[in-house]
């Protein structure tokens, strides 16, 4: 097996020459490299999600959202009871 064999094309510009690369140890090295890179990115993403999950600002927003929803439910409750009372008459 010829590794890295490049046929000679006299007079052709290099950008038009297709170089055949035969896979040897290089493929495994590339695969291992990209697997490591993907692993790093996954770790960074998970770390950032964890950090944001512990954020005080997120907890405050969630608390205010729950309070607002409870307040809206209380405001809507009398309206629904009035509607039911009017429908029964």
DSSP annotation of 55 reads -
Global pTM reads 0.40
List, in order, residues 6 or more apart from 58 with CB less than 8 Å away. Answer: 52
The answer to whether residue 15 is domain-embedded is no
* Angle at the Cα of 57 from the Cα atoms of 54 and 58, rounded to 5 degrees: 60
Q: What's the domain range around 75?
A: 63-89
Residue 85: inside a domain: yes
Question: Structural domain tally of the chain?
Answer: 2
- Tell me how many degrees the CA angle 12-18-23 measures, rounded to the nearest 5: 145
In a domain, 67, yes or no: yes
pLDDT for 46-83, tens place per residue? 999 998 888 888 889 999 999 999 999 998 886 665 66
Q: Is residue 16 part of a domain?
A: no
Could you give the CA distance from residue 26 to residue 23 in angstroms, rounded to a whole number? 6
Q: Is residue 3 part of a domain?
A: no
Is residue 8 domain-resident?
no
Whether 12 is covered by a domain: the verdict is no
Query: Does residue 83 lie in a domain region?
Result: yes
Residue 26 confidence (pLDDT): 82
């Amino acid at each position: 097996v010829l590794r890295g064999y490049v046929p000679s094309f006299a007079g052709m510009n290099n950008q038009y020459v297709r170089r055949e690369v035969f896979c040897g140890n290089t493929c495994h090295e590339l695969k291992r490299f990209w697997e490591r890179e993907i692993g790093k990115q996954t770790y960074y993403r998970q770390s950032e999600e964890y950090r944001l999950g512990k954020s005080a600002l997120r907890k405050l927003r969630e608390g205010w959202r729950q309070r607002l929803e409870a307040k809206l439910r209380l405001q809507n409750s009398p309206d629904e009871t009035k509607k039911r009372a009017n429908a029964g008459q």
